[in-house]
Amino acid sequence: MKKIYLFCSHGMSTSLLANKMQDVADTHELPIEVKAFPHGKLEEIVETLNPDCILLGPQVKYLYDETVERFKDINTPIAVIDSQDYGMMNAEKVLKTAIILIKKNKK
C-alpha cells in the first residue's frame, strides 16, 4: 500500500481533494492510501507514518524548500500541487502526478 499524504494550512480544503483522490484510487483498485493533514503535523506524520509521497497544497508552497531540506535523507518525493489542478479539484491528475513521482523515485 502506497501512502500519498497532502499537507496544507489546516487540512480542510486538501481533505476534499484527498477524498476525491482516494475515490479515484479505489475505483481503479489501486493499493493507495490518500490522506490530508495540516502542515503543522508534517514532521510528526512523516516520521511516524512514512509516506511514499508528500504533496504540499499551493497555499503552503513557501514551505517547499524547507520541507525538501528537512526530509532530504528519507528519499521521499516532495512536490507542490499544481494550483490549477488544486482549484479545479482535479483528483485524477494530482493522483497521477503522485504515482509518477513515486515511480521515478524508485529508480
Query: Domain containing 46 — which CATH number?
Result: 3.40.50.2300
Q: Is the dihedral of CA 20, 23, 28, 29 positive or negative?
A: positive
Does the reported pTM lie above 0.75? yes
| Grid coordinates belonging to 87 | 482549484
pLDDT at 72 over 70: yes
The partner residues of 4 in beta bridges, in order of sequence, read 34, 53
Domain hosting 61: range is: 2-106
For residue 95, the one-letter residue type is L
pLDDT attached to residue 107: 60
Q: Does 106 or 79 have the greater pLDDT score?
A: 79
In this structure, what C-alpha cell is assigned to residue 4? 500519498
Q: Is the dihedral of CA 102, 96, 55, 65 positive or negative?
A: positive
Concerning whether 8 is annotated as a catalytic residue, the answer is yes
The C-alpha atoms of residue 43 and residue 22 are separated, in whole angstroms, by 23
Give residue-wise pLDDT tens across range 75-101.
899 999 999 999 999 999 999 999 999
Number of structural domains found in the chain: 1
Which residue in 4, 8, 17, 24 is the catalytic one? Answer: 8
pLDDT of 10: 81
Residue 64: its pLDDT value, please? 97
Region of residue 50 (left: phi > 0; alpha: psi -120 to 50; beta: else)? left
How far apart, in whole angstroms, are the C-alpha atoms of residue 8 and residue 56? 6
pLDDT, tens digit, 9 for 90 and up, residues 12-65: 789 999 999 999 999 999 999 999 999 999 999 999 999 999 999 999 999 999
